[in-house]
Structure 1
Amino acid sequence: MIISHEYKFIMFCNPKTGTTSLEKALQNYNEYNILNNGYYGLWANKHMPPAIAKGFLPLNVYQDYFKFVFVRHPFDWVISQYKYQAKLEVVSVTTLVKKTVSRST
């Protein structure tokens, strides 16, 4: 999420829609980076849902600023998400426990 107080806009970031490129292009306008922390199990970094952001931001900021988000065709999004997930290592719970125990000893 990018918030510019100077230009009075909030850009929300949907996953798998090219937001990293947009963030790089708009990084000089980002004046409020504190809300870009994810919460495990709820949302990833920078992908805070607008309804949650509304609760964190001052009411006048949320009401008065121009808000926008980019979306992707659902089929393209599913393919991109599938390819992304395929890159991730799939680990069983047993393997995860073994790795965790071995690191702590």
Structure 2
Amino acid sequence: MQAVIKTCGKQYCVSEGQVLAVSSLEGNVGEEIGINEVLMISGEKTVVGTPVVSGAKVTAEILAQFRGKKIIVFKSKRRKGYKKRNGHRQDLTKIKITKIEC
């Protein structure tokens, strides 16, 4: 069974047992969280929500809270001597999908 969920403003296609890194979610390592914004469920029968599937829920377990790879943001304007360098590291949460309920 697969589902399309929406969390932190992004959509993910997930299945049971899948491990993925999403933007930072509140909670401690080992806690169970419920994601209620399920946009679609496919299995024996495909159910598409308008915009969400009513009564559907995806349960996930938090495996780790970590920070992503550092990216460098560099801005410059030609012939003006303007240069700005900035770095960014995104806070991420590693979750494991444990159950998909219709």
TM-score by structure 2 length? Answer: 0.23
Task: Write 1 or 2 for the structure with the bigger share of helix.
Answer: 1
TM-score by structure 1 length? Answer: 0.22
Task: Write 1 or 2 for the structure with the bigger share of strand.
Answer: 2
